[in-house]
Amino acid sequence: MNAKTTSALDLDQSKYNFIDPESAVYRSARGLTRETVIDISRQKKEPDWMTDARLRAYEVFLGKPMPRWGGDLSEMDFDAYTYYIKPSDKREDRWEDVPENIRKTFDRLGIPEAERKFLAGVGAQYESEMVYHSIHEDLAKKGVIFLDTDSGLREFPVLFREHFASLVPPEDNKFAALNTACWSGGSFIYVPKGVKLDIPLQAYFRINSENMGQFERTIIIADEGAQLHYIEGCTAPQYSTKSLHTGVIEIFVKRGAKVRYTTIQNWAHNIYNLVTQRAIAYEGATMEWVDGNMGSRLTMKYPSIYLVGEHARGTILSIAFATNDQHQDAGAKIIHKAPNTSSTITSKSISKGAGRTSYRGLLKVAKGATGVKASVKCDALMLDPESRSDTYPTMEIDEDKVAIAHEATVGKISDEQVFYLMSRGLSESDATAMIVQGFIEPFAKELPMEYAIELNRLIQLEMEGAVG
């Protein structure tokens, strides 16, 4: 992998902190009303059922109170956001056809290079719309669908309607309702029976405007015996006011199929990142969330897996890194509904300066789900005396014949380790970075190599100047 590819996946915030001149072809009026919702649906020329679904979700959104748990949402002003910004007139599948200013942004982020190097398909979302989607020809021939979600609705209406909001209904939570009311963009993926993708699909999300709400909706369906790995990366420049990112991701892993979903979220430090990620795994299926939360002002994100078929497996592996102005309220939920299902949750969090991390988790075993094996491991590392880390694990075990392991640790950087590494010539910040990198190694080793390298580099950057 050469240096250019690496830059596509670069996690260094400063590189993303540039703003393009505004050039949207359409923006909805500021704030969210019934008219805005209808307007978004009209702009997209959607069928009536979708307009109705949006309006119903809008009512649910209005009816639900703000969550009082998790992070501090008191400064969030729903009237301040623009809910729909259409950056260009259509979604292109040739890179040359993407409008020049947007192309330049993604070129700067290295997206098309990344695609040529090692991806099976790439999508790029700018503000509210996917501006680009492409997939390798041979995969398309095998019947693999990799579209932006709006095109998914148009081109595969039956498949779409069967799955949309079936796993995350608007009633689930206020932000899922908000997303359902004004969703736009995201990826729509279908992998047919028995088709195995051995290289990943990737989508890249970029917010450019100030006070913008991005509400992508992603639906992934892996049919029986299919396999895929989807990678998502997100960035936005730093503004003085807070933008909102509220995605919903629904993943269906049919019998014997396997899906891995890798996210590295590196939003600017003033973005509210409130995402609902849910997967359902049928008999013998495997679902894996690999979830990295680095950026944002506040993240509230608890990837979940419903294990509904016998021998289904679920893995949630996550890291959260919070510095001074950040709160990462992240976690994992696994619900065992069938016998002989198994799961592992591994959560690693690092808080630095006045940064705050919270682990919020749920492990549930339904009555009758015998032979369940589950393990939960949460490790928190605090780098400074003012750092904060909390753990809120919930277990609801309604079945006796199960094997559950639970382990939680909270620690500081060990002086003895720092001394040992320094005595071999590493500076204090390099020694500290190396210990932190070692701490998240169980996560990093699951990433594509380019991401792992960049993640380590970011930690290195975060440590410089942190210690004297």
Partner 1 sequence: MPELALDIRNLHAVIEEKEVLKGIDLEVPKGEIHVIMGPNGSGKTTLAHTLMGHPRYTVTQGEACLFGEDLLSLKVHERARKGLFLAYQYPVEVPGVTLSHFLWNACQAGRSGADGNGKKNPKEILAFRKRLNAALESLKMPADFAMRHLNVGASGGEKKRVEIAQMQMLTPRMVIMDEIDSGLDIDSTKVVAEGIRSLKGSEFTALIITHYPRILEYLQPDRVHVMAAGKVLCSRGMELARELEQKGYDWILKEFNVV
The footprint of partner 1 (CB under 8 A) covers 414-417, 419-428, 430-431, 434-435, 437-442, 460
145 or 435: CB nearest partner 1:
435
111 or 319: CB nearest partner 1:
319
394 or 427: CB nearest partner 1:
427
Closest approach, Cβ 428 to partner 1, in A, equals 7
Residue type, 267: W
- CB atoms closer than 10 angstroms to residue 430: 16
Residue type, 332: A
151 or 417: CB nearest partner 1:
417
Closest approach, Cβ 39 to partner 1, in A, equals 50
Closest approach, Cβ 329 to partner 1, in A, equals 25
Q: Which residue has the tokens 């002989």?
A: 340
Closest approach, Cβ 465 to partner 1, in A, equals 13
Q: How far is CA 429 from CA 418, 432, 436, 456, 463, in A?
A: 9, 5, 10, 13, 6
375 or 460: CB nearest partner 1:
460
Residues 6 or more apart in contact with residue 51 via CB below 8 angstroms: 38, 41, 42
198 or 415: CB nearest partner 1:
415
Residue 199 zone, left/alpha/beta (φ > 0; ψ -120 to 50; rest): beta
Q: For 308-445, list the strands marked E by DSSP.
A: 313-322, 327-336, 342-351, 356-365, 372-382, 388-397, 402-412
- The three-state secondary structure class of 335 is strand
- What is the rounded radius of gyration, in angstroms, for the C-alpha atoms of the chain? 21
Sheet (strand 129-135) strand order: 129-135, 121-126, 201-206, 227-235, 258-265, 286-293, 313-322, 342-351, 372-382, 402-412
Closest approach, Cβ 313 to partner 1, in A, equals 24
Closest approach, Cβ 456 to partner 1, in A, equals 9
Instruction: Name which of 159, 263, 141 is nearest 195 in CA terms.
Output: 141
153 or 421: CB nearest partner 1:
421
Closest approach, Cβ 416 to partner 1, in A, equals 5
- The three-state secondary structure class of 443 is helix
Closest approach, Cβ 265 to partner 1, in A, equals 22
18 or 419: CB nearest partner 1:
419
- Give the residues across from 329 on adjacent strands: 300, 358
94 or 424: CB nearest partner 1:
424
Q: How far is CA 281 from CA 205, 222, 340, 405, in A?
A: 26, 10, 13, 22
Q: What is the Cα–Cα distance from 108 to 263, expressed in whole angstroms?
A: 20
Please give the structure tokens belonging to residue 407. Answer: 């382990």
Please give the structure tokens belonging to residue 33. Answer: 């009303």
Closest approach, Cβ 414 to partner 1, in A, equals 8
65 or 385: CB nearest partner 1:
385
Closest approach, Cβ 108 to partner 1, in A, equals 21
Which H/E stretch holds residue 461? helix 449-463
